[in-house]
Amino acid sequence: MSITILYFAGLREALGVERELVDMPSGVNDVASLRSWLLARGAAWQPLSAPRIRAAVNQSLASDASVVADGDEVAFFPPVTGG
């Protein structure tokens, strides 16, 4: 099951990754489990654990319980500061 993950702004810089195409293992099926799986990659991924980091699935704001399915586009980013 492959999804695209995007990282923005300070989080993108902290992780050093802008976009990745990943194959999710079975059991990873929502935002919370995706985040845990990414955090398990190691210390470099800790910036993703901050409570202020938001998620979007297919370009809509998502919660921890939001479903992530094959082909989805998931994004992680800090609180927005436009305008």
Residue 27 in contact with other proteins, rule: CB under 8 A: no
- C-beta atoms surrounding 4 within 10 Å: 13
* From candidates 2, 4, 59, 63, binder to other proteins by CB under 8 A: 59
Q: What is the CA radius of gyration of the chain?
A: 12
Residue 47 in contact with other proteins, rule: CB under 8 A: no
Give the three-state DSSP class for 33. helix
Q: Which of 60, 57, 59, 76 is closest to 68 using CA atoms?
A: 57
The one segment of 24-32, 41-49, 63-71, 73-81 that binds other proteins by CB under 8 A: 73-81
Residues that bind other proteins (CB under 8 A): 6, 8-10, 56, 59-61, 75, 77-83
